[in-house]
Structure 1
Amino acid sequence: MSTPSDKMKHKGQEFVGKAKETTGDMTGDDRLKGEGQGDQAESKVKQAGDKAKDKVQEGIDKAKGLFDR
């Protein structure tokens, strides 16, 4: 299961990426803009992994509940 700190870290990475992208766009720095886009993409992948872990854990918890009856 994903920890709340992992989720916050991944969301923060997305925010920093957006800031880099915006700064790069405003200053004409294509490298910084691209780095920001990359950070955002990486963050989205990590967030999708967090969601998948949570769904798997929900399934495990549900299966355990069936056997506890």
Structure 2
Amino acid sequence: MHGRIKGARLRDLRQARGWTREELAERCDLSPRSIQRFEGGSRIARQSAQRLARRSSKRKPTNVWA
């Protein structure tokens, strides 16, 4: 199943934490290129979106779909 992640929201959250795409990718076990695509609005598998939400949050998961 695929959904639309809001790329600008993901980018804003990443930048607010002071992380590079490479740092976020490493935390989430994804490629930096995937992060770049997601931030650009490409489709993202729900499993990857859930991984991003869980592993990129310092506290409770952030709703990247909002």
* TM-score, normalised by the number of residues in structure 1: 0.26
The structure whose Rg is larger is 1
Q: Which has the higher helix share?
A: 1
Q: Which has the higher strand share?
A: 2
* TM-score, normalised by the number of residues in structure 2: 0.26
Q: Choose between structure 1 and 2 for higher RCO, CA contacts under 8 A separated by at least 6 residues.
A: 2
